[in-house]
């Protein structure tokens, strides 16, 4: 696993304060993966750490500081730099902006987009923020109850959602220019995943459920695929 983490795939966690050891200096944290696997000498690891701190907009003197001296936004940049240490093929970013204030969220999201291009790295970005998903992703996978409900190019998926869950999520997104009134919500609760799911996992909450083949797990079908027996066509609402 260490070899995998140091070279192929790296993870950026949601809350950098929970993921970075507060008792170790930033330099130790940054170089740990390549030191433990022996993929770089200590001198090369230090040089790479300085280069990556610069890439994420931080000064090299942070290497000797402890995490408690840094803000949440700075720590998340350190986390991103640590993830890039082994030159990974894939970055897994699990809600990397959720624990940050709004300004830091925008900065970190923009930074990830730039770094992805500069280091030619794939980015799997997990988020509950649909606007962020639309802004940062080429391709979006909408998950419900552990299954892929729908996937496709970001633009097509947001313009023409085909799965009722995607459409309901988009309808529930507040807009600043929307007329005053009650916000749209998805009735009901997610299914209890301790029980085996039969049929469509969204059926209990779906306005389009007909009962037809409700007991069958829907197969992915259509232009951009949706796991639904009755996918929506040409609409942005779940009406
Ligand atoms: S399969 Fe039926 S219940 Fe499930 S999302 Fe599609 S329309 Fe709704």
What tens digit of pLDDT does each residue of 111-144 get? Answer: 998 999 998 999 999 999 888 899 899 999 999 9
pLDDT at 235 over 60: no
Residue 108 or residue 2, greater confidence: 108
Q: Once rounded to an integer, what is the mean pLDDT over residues 84-91?
A: 90
Choose the residue to mutate in 199, 230, 232, 238 for probing ligand 1, maximizing ligand atoms within 8 Å of C-beta: 230
Domains of the chain, start order:
2-136 (3.40.50.300), 138-173+197-239 (no CATH)
The per-residue pLDDT for 213 is 55
What is the 3 state secondary structure string of 93-135? EECCCCCCCHHHHHHHHHHHHHHHHHCCCEEEEECCCHHHHHH
> pLDDT tier at 212 (50, 70, 90 boundaries)?
low
Nearest Cα to 53, choosing from 25, 74, 70?
Answer: 74
Q: Once rounded to an integer, what is the mean pLDDT over residues 150-161?
A: 94
Cα–Cα distance between 161 and 169 in angstroms, integer?
10
> pLDDT tier at 239 (50, 70, 90 boundaries)?
very low
pTM here is: 0.85
C-alpha of residue 124 to centroid of ligand 1, in Å: 27
Atom of ligand 1 nearest to the CA of 226: 6
Give the tens place of pLDDT for each residue, 13-26: 999 999 999 999 99
Task: Give the phi and the psi of residue 192 in degrees, each rounded to 5.
Answer: -75, 110
Atom of ligand 1 nearest to the CA of 212: 2
Choose the residue to mutate in 150, 197, 202 for probing ligand 1, maximizing ligand atoms within 8 Å of C-beta: 202
């Amino acid at each position: 696993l260490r070899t995998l983490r140091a070279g192929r795939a790296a993870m950026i966690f949601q809350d950098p304060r929970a993921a970075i050891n507060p008792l170790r200096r930033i330099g130790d944290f940054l170089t740990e993966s390549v030191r433990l696997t022996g993929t770089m000498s200590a001198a090369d690891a230090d040089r790479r750490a300085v280069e990556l701190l610069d890439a994420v907009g931080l000064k090299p003197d942070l290497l000797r500081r402890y995490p408690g001296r840094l803000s949440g936004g700075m720590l998340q940049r350190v986390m991103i730099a640590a993830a890039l240490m082994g030159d990974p093929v894939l970055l897994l970013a699990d809600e990397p902006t959720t624990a940050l204030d709004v300004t830091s969220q925008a900065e970190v999201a923009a930074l990830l987009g730039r770094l992805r291009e500069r280091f030619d790295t794939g980015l799997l970005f997990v988020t509950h923020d649909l606007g962020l998903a639309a802004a940062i992703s080429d391709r979006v996978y909408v998950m419900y109850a552990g299954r892929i409900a729908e996937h496709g190019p970001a633009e097509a998926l947001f313009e023409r959602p085909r799965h009722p869950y995607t459409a309901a999520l988009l309808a529930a997104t507040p807009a600043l220019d929307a007329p005053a009134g009650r916000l749209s919500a998805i009735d009901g609760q997610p299914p209890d995943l301790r029980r085996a799911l039969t049929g469509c996992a969204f059926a209990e909450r779906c306005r389009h459920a007909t009962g037809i083949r409700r007991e069958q797990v829907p197969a992915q079908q259509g232009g951009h695929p949706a796991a639904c027996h009755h996918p929506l066509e040409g609409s942005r609402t779940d009406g």
